[in-house]
Amino acid sequence: MRLTEDDLTAIRYIAKHRFLRSTHLITLLERPTKKFLERLAALYHNGYLDRPRAQLDYYATAGSAPIVYALGNKGAAILAEFDGTERAKVDWTDKNRTAGRLFIEHTLLTADLMVSAEIAARRSGNVMLIEPGDILAAAPKTTRCAANPWALPARITYSGITQDIRLIPDKVFGFDYTDARKRSYFFVEADRGTMPIIRSNPRQTSFHQKILGYLAGSRPVNTHGQHFGIGNFRVLTITTSSERIASMIDALKQATRGTGSNQFLFVDRAALQSCPDVLNLEWISGKGERVRLALLVI
């Protein structure tokens, strides 16, 4: 099989996001659907791409859906050859086979946002996407050399108990609003509705605990921003429904003595997937206000 530049681009995108639907790739490469689907199938049958088996369980109950692709062993080898990337010592076929449906769906929810962000920035003409890799490359040396550079330490107090926790955002990225000469940075939380929003035991993981952790590292000291060498940040949460958003805002108000916070923005999955332009998508702030990222300059 002779690889084309489009083939290599598709393989690179999948390596970057871990899992992508065929619809993600068609949108990113802006190619005719039928021919590109045939090309993806060829890449799969030749071992450059893989199809995680867990998605078959989902199709059995949910009907047909766009095929999910992952990196294949030959795809990893070709990226090492063409891009000079270090090839991970992993059998991608085995790794993809053992990936569970919940993990795949969580990764795809994050990809929904990041693919939309890339497309929106590309089409805007005056907004540039700041990739996670760019943020990490410019971060302080202590962050770059950390065992997990994305982990954010925080000390929180809830119900009279003080504890140290670590937050690991599902993604960290930014927008450079070139006309305004301003940048906005975001920590992403992809919530599938499986984590309790609040617990009676403060030591147990909950979304409320994450809220406290993000608040502990925000203004005025902005320790989470300093960790990456960036300015102030906002937390973007994608979740399952408007009802769950309302419960999350209630938890945020509890953490902020009833005031809420515009630092936190929420959207449900259906709204994100139905809006072709994430910059003009309406998010709900932690104070119940409607916010668009296109107009957001910190």
Domain span holding position 169: 120-295
The last residue of a domain, from among 99, 133, 154: 99
Same-domain status, 138 and 278: yes
Q: Which of 65, 99, 133 is the last residue of a domain?
A: 99
Q: Do 37 and 140 belong to one domain?
A: no
Residue 104 is assigned to a structural domain of this protein: no
Residue 112 in domain:
no
Looking at the fold, whether 176 and 281 belong to one and the same domain comes out as yes
Do residue 139 and residue 265 come from a single domain? yes
What pLDDT was estimated at residue 279? 94
- Residue 106 falls inside a structural domain: no
Sign for the CA dihedral angle at 108, 36, 127, 71 comes to positive
Instruction: Identify the CATH number of the domain in which residue 82 sits.
Output: 1.10.10.10
Could you tell me where the DSSP H helices lie in 18-91?
22-29, 33-45, 54-62, 73-83
Same domain, 41 and 125: no
72 plus 144 within the same structural domain: no
Q: Are residues 132 and 271 in the same domain?
A: yes
What integer pLDDT is reported at residue 102 of this predicted model?
92
- CB-side neighbour CA atoms (13 Å) of 41: 7
pTM of the model: 0.93
In a domain, 109, yes or no: no
Where is the domain boundary, 34, 68, 99?
99
pLDDT at residue 57 in the model: 63
Give me the number of domains the chain comprises.
2
12 and 130 assigned to the same domain = no
Residues 124 and 262 in one domain: yes
- pLDDT attached to residue 296: 72
199 part of a folded domain: yes
User: Is residue 187 a part of any domain in this protein?
Assistant: yes
Q: What local confidence, expressed as pLDDT, does residue 85 receive?
A: 73
Low-confidence residues in the chain, pLDDT < 70: 57-64, 87-88, 297-298
Structural domain contains residue 217:
yes
Do residue 9 and residue 139 come from a single domain? no
Task: Tell me, yes or no, whether 156 and 51 share the same domain.
Answer: no
Flag whether 113 is in a domain.
no
SS3 for 132-193 is HHHHHHCCCHHHHCCCCCCCEEEEEEECCEEEEEEECCCEEEEEEECCCCEEEEEEEEECCC
Q: Of 130, 137, 133, which Cα lies nearest the Cα of 229?
A: 137
pLDDT at 236: 98
Q: In this structure, are 38 and 143 located in the same domain?
A: no
Distances (CA, A) of 8 to 14, 61, 81: 10, 33, 11
